[in-house]
Amino acid sequence: MSIDPFSGKTIAIDFETATEARASACSIGLAFIEDGRVVRVEERLIRPPENRYSPFNIAIHGIRPEHTVHAPEFVDVMAEFAADFEGARMIAHNASFDFSVLRACLDHSGLDYPELSYLCSVKLAQRHWPGLGSHRLNVLAAHLGLNFLHHNAAEDARICAEACLAMAAEAEVNDLFELAAKLGLNIGRLNRRGYEPCSFARKPRRAAALQA
């Protein structure tokens, strides 16, 4: 089944960070979904604060200080994509991480939060494909027969988007937020006043008690 069209703008997002600090984004990947398919993938390197990296993070993604010494800062990259983010429906694999990076970078840069809603593809996959031993992106890529370069922001965003499209098609829904409702997932939101996390809907107490 094709999903045609998705409602509104739908963008998968992924960050890599230079250190343990959430405000140290050094790369962003974006995959844009239109008419039920990925139509555009973007990646930008970002110069983190003081261009400082930890060896642990370098070992994960391979980005080094020399790669970002002349890269734009977060505020400049955000300016390029701000119009895309505003009012968008977004998805991320382990959204609690990626949206904490986004919030921390916005805070560090003194920028307002955009108004957007988002979903976590890990949580969607846990509900939709409960039989998989893991729901990491490399496992989902293998499950779907997709080639994948892990810990590259653009690739991570692309596979996140493709996995969500596959789940929506298998569930026979026309929209990722319809898929979330079907799987019992609360939509996360970011706005000028703060944020609400994407989370599993709680089971009614009576039903939970009967299952105990």
Using one digit for the tens of pLDDT, what is the confidence trace for 58-81? Answer: 999 999 999 999 999 999 999 999
Over 90: is that where the pLDDT of 6 sits?
no
N- to C-terminal Cα distance for the chain? 37
CA distance 112 to 13: 18
Using one digit for the tens of pLDDT, what is the confidence trace for 111-133? Answer: 999 999 999 999 999 999 999 99
Over 90: is that where the pLDDT of 207 sits?
no
From 48, 31, 198, select the one nearest 116 (Cα to Cα): 198
What pLDDT is recorded for position 9?
A: 75
Confidence of residue 212 (pLDDT cuts 50, 70, 90): very low
Q: How much is the mean pLDDT over the chain?
A: 92
Of the chain, the percentage scoring pLDDT greater than 90 comes to 86
Confidence of residue 5 (pLDDT cuts 50, 70, 90): very low
The sheet with strand 10-17 has its strands ordered as 37-45, 25-34, 10-17, 89-92, 116-120, 188-191, 194-196
From 185, 133, 144, select the one nearest 38 (Cα to Cα): 144
The type of residue at 56 is F
